[in-house]
Amino acid sequence: MKVDVEKLLAELAKIAKAIQDAQPPKSSAEGSRSPKARPLTFLLAGRTGTGKSSTINSLLGSDIAPTGKYRPTTLEVKKYQYSHQGVAYEIIDTPGLCDDLPEAGNDEKYFAQIKAGVQEVDSLWYVTRLDDSRLSSDERRGIKLVSKALGSDIWKQAVIVFTYADAVRPAEYAEALTERTKIIREEVAKYAPTEAATLPSVAVTNRGPTTPDGAEWLPELFKMVVERFNAAGMLPFLVSMQDDVVPKQTNGKAKPRINLSGKQKGRVRKSLVDRVIQGASMGASAGRTFGPWGAVLGAVAGGAGVALYNWLLEEQDESDS
């Protein structure tokens, strides 16, 4: 059945207003302060030097997480705060998680750190090099710890990010991506068999705009992150990123920083409709889905997300890759 997107968007605006109207009145002690939404949270897992920080910085267009080539000396959870178009972000890095350290035997200590430091994850990245031929024992340990600390459902928000794609020869690129994805899925399946079967992967290189097959990797990364993003945070994420993906001119000729193809744009729109708008239109579920984001939804209903919605509703060439 064909989805009436305009009708659903109009319904979303009504839902946003209803949620705002349902908010309890502020006490005099609160003054004019508005409720603080939880930040959108990215959890980065992978060995040091694989390009975790560089890749999240590329996606969000800002130097948020520090980059470096040196191995950590201890197991710890590090958090970086960031605000993009008024939406708060928290980038959580796990240096040492997938590294062979003397302290690595103390898994229970790090397990407790992850559980205490990570409340809700919107997007999990498992980052590893595409040109590696195997999965190391410390990487396997990292997958085990993440699964134990956060539960198998965390892999529903996960994307495998293969870095250093440019280190693979073009003739071997497709096979390397397929085989490396299979290896990671097999390891994740030990702890989350259902989620592992559909765990997607994307190849990137922070030393150039394209992968060995000639495709731009940043739009594909963005599309895949959206498709796997926690439904409760997807709308604020899209609204905060609209200036990065929507062309600056109405004729669409000025390329945005993240230049999605017609197919990628269609997949983003489908994710928004299927996982957020239709889910929110199901009566009481709206409050659970959007509860922490009433203020953001109110802004969208008031026009903050108009450019994004108009762009997503444009006719697009689905054959465009």
Segment 255-295, tens digit of pLDDT: 899 999 999 999 998 898 787 766 554 333 333 434 444 44
Q: What is the mean pLDDT of residues 121-133?
A: 94
What does the alpha-carbon distance between residue 25 and residue 28 come to, in Å, rounded to a whole number? 9
Burial code (b: 16+ CB inside 10 Å, e: under 16) for 108-140 equals eebeebbeeebebbbbbbbbbbbbbeebeeebe
> Which position has the higher pLDDT, 107 or 301?
107
Banded pLDDT at 156 (limits 50, 70, 90): very high
Q: Comparing 99-113, 194-208, 284-298, 307-321, which segment has the lowest mean pLDDT?
A: 284-298
Residue range of the domain that includes 106 = 5-22+37-313
Would you say residue 151 lies in a domain? Answer: yes
pLDDT tens sequence across 33-65 = 444 568 999 999 888 788 888 999 999 999 887
Please report, rounded to a whole number, the percentage of residues in the chain having pLDDT higher than 70.
66
Please state, rounded to an integer, the average pLDDT across all residues of the chain. Answer: 78
126: in domain: yes
Distance CA 142, CA 163 (A): 17
SS3 309: helix
List the beta bridge partners of residue 127.
46, 161
Is-contact 196 185, C-beta < 8 A?
yes
Residue 321 lies in a domain: no
* 168 in a structural domain: yes
Please report the pLDDT score of residue 120 as a whole number. Answer: 86
Task: For residue 265, tell me if it sits in a domain.
Answer: yes
> Within a domain: residue 62?
yes
Report yes or no on 106 lying in a domain: yes
29 occurs within a structural domain: no
Nearest to 316 by CA among 256, 262, 261, 271: 262
Which tokens go with 72?
A: 């950590």
Looking at residue 86, its amino acid is: G
pTM tops 0.75, yes or no: yes
Per the model's pLDDT, the better-predicted residue between 240 and 7 turns out to be: 240
Strand order across the beta sheet in which 158-163 lies: 78-84, 87-93, 40-46, 123-129, 158-163, 201-203
Tally of domains within the chain:
1
CATH of the domain at 261: 3.40.50.300
